[in-house]
Amino acid sequence: MIRIRAGALRTRTRTRATFRARVRAGPLRFLAFPGDPRRLRRGISLGLPTLWGAVAITYKLVCPLAQETGLGARIVTSAVFFAVGTALVVHIRHTLLRELRQMRKIAHAAQNVLLRPLPPRVDGLAVAGGQLSADPGAGVGGDLYEVLTTEHGVRVVMGDVRGHGLGALSTVAAVLGSFREAVHDEAELAGVLRRLERALARHLRERSRAEHPAGGGAEPDSPLAEEFVTLLLLEIRPDGEVVALNCGHPWPYLLSSTPGPRGPRGRVERLDGGEPLPPLGPFPLPADLPLVRCGRLRPGEALVLHTDGVEDARDRRGRFFPLHTALAEAVRVRPVVPQALIHALFAQLLRHAGGLPADDGALLVLANDRRRLVVQQGEPIRQPAQRAT
């Protein structure tokens, strides 16, 4: 008995499901289930213009006043059609605005997944990141950054994809996805970089096949061969030591303080690790990838990573944005608050450029506010950046 009833119930359920599917596929799909708000709004959006059009046509064909040729009758007829036309324009505008708001919500959610918001603190470091996209309305462009805690220390990536705006999003997604996996799997920073190189090469091959299909299994020729990504990889170890691998990216700035007769004074220093490696994409990485040692990030100090779109922003006279001067003004306020620093820098950049810059720009600030830092005995206070042996 139980099995028969269950079978009958399943049969009735399938029958109802089939009926609903047929009704939804039929001409009455908007009226079949008025409880669904999406279908109800869709039915209204299609029904109202049809109703207004029917009213205008009925008035013109049936109403005796519309058949008269007098001035008063013409004025009334014109007013009726003007009212119907205005209502249609307002309705279409309202529908488009609603769809635009929905599309922006979807785009914002997708952008947050791609370039997700950074946590305010990562293993004793205060962190903040921000980006200005060259495309109005886009929150993500061709720049990328991420900060993750691993068993090897805090690992950071800052990158810049050739081009800007929404066209570079797929490359950003490929590089960030590979980085988020590789930093936990690879014990050495060089292994992370090689994983990113392979992921970028695979992504460009797939894009090339999709955009420029070629027969016979041959590799297609496409402008994607000129695509490249500049990258800066950092590893901040538990004792504060900072090591880096740089592939054609600007070196970061170090914000610190020096003692003075009137108290501590802010200091801005650009880390110089020598000639960087070539960007990822056009050329293969060399067999040897020596780490660049950048000293230690001590309590109270901060690192500012940026893309070249920040320094390359120009004003109306063609002058570049003075990032070093802007940082020097910002570090007068102690201690450094990463989020406030990014807001101040972007405000100055927008004033300098008179609006959105011509290229995407990104900033990433990592401030060390750890209370205790392990320092090896006999280690100097500041070490210049040097390549590891």
The alpha-helical segments, DSSP class H, found in the chain are 2-25, 37-62, 64-67, 71-114, 169-185, 189-211, 308-311, 323-330, 338-353
Cα–Cα distance measured from residue 247 to residue 232, given in angstroms and rounded to the nearest whole number: 6
Q: Could you please report the per-residue DSSP string of 206-246?
A: HHHHHHS--GGGPPPP-GGGG--EEEEEEEE-TTSEEEEEE
Residue partners of 387: CB distance under 8 A and separation at least 6: 273, 274, 290, 291, 292, 293
Percent of the chain with pLDDT over 70: 66
The average pLDDT across 292-299 equals: 91
Lowest mean pLDDT among 64-68, 308-312, 331-335: 64-68
Q: Please tell me the distance from the alpha carbon of residue 327 to that of residue 268, in angstroms, as a whole number.
A: 7
Q: Which residue has the higher pLDDT, 363 or 142?
A: 363
The long-range contacts involving 275-279, CB below 8 angstroms and separated by at least 24 positions, are 276/246, 276/247, 276/248, 276/249, 276/251, 277/245, 277/246, 277/247, 277/248, 278/247, 278/248, 279/228, 279/229, 279/230, 279/231, 279/247, 279/248, 279/249
pLDDT at 216: 44
Q: How confident is the model at residue 262 (pLDDT cuts 50, 70, 90)?
A: low
Could you give the CA distance from residue 292 to residue 200 in angstroms, rounded to a whole number?
23
> Which pLDDT does position 125 carry in this prediction?
93
User: Can you say how many angstroms the Cα of residue 245 is from the centroid of all Cα atoms in its chain?
Assistant: 23
Tokens 């869709």 locate to 42
Asked if 189 and 245 count as a contact pair (C-beta separation under 8 A), the reply is: yes
Checking if the pLDDT of 249 tops 50, the result is yes
User: Which pLDDT does position 384 carry in this prediction?
Assistant: 41
- Tell me how far CA of residue 328 lies from CA of 127, 227, 254, 267, 344, in angstroms: 19, 35, 11, 7, 12
Q: How many Cβ atoms sit within 10 Å of the Cβ of residue 292? A: 23
* 92 Cβ contact partners less than 8 Å away, ≥ 6 residues apart: 49
Q: How far is CA 94 from CA 47, 87, 192, 207, in A?
A: 15, 10, 49, 37
Instruction: Report which listed range, 81-85, 103-107, 217-221, 351-355, is most confident.
Output: 351-355
pLDDT in tens, 117-169: 888 999 889 999 988 876 665 556 678 899 999 999 999 999 998 865 555 77
Q: Percent of the chain having pLDDT more than 90?
A: 32
Q: What is the pLDDT of residues 42-64, one digit of tens each?
A: 555 556 667 766 777 776 667 77
The full length of the chain comes to: 389
| Nearest-angstrom CA–CA distance, 53 and 374 | 78
The radius of gyration of the chain's CA atoms, rounded to the nearest angstrom, is 30
Residue 174's φ and ψ, nearest 5 degrees, are -65, -45
Once rounded to an integer, what is the mean pLDDT over residues 296-318? 91
**Nearest-angstrom CA–CA distance, 128 and 303:** 11
Give the whole-angstrom CA distance, residue 370 versus residue 300: 8
In the predicted structure, residue 235 carries a pLDDT above the cut 70? yes
Is the pTM for the entire model greater than 0.75? no
For residue 134, what pLDDT is reported?
67
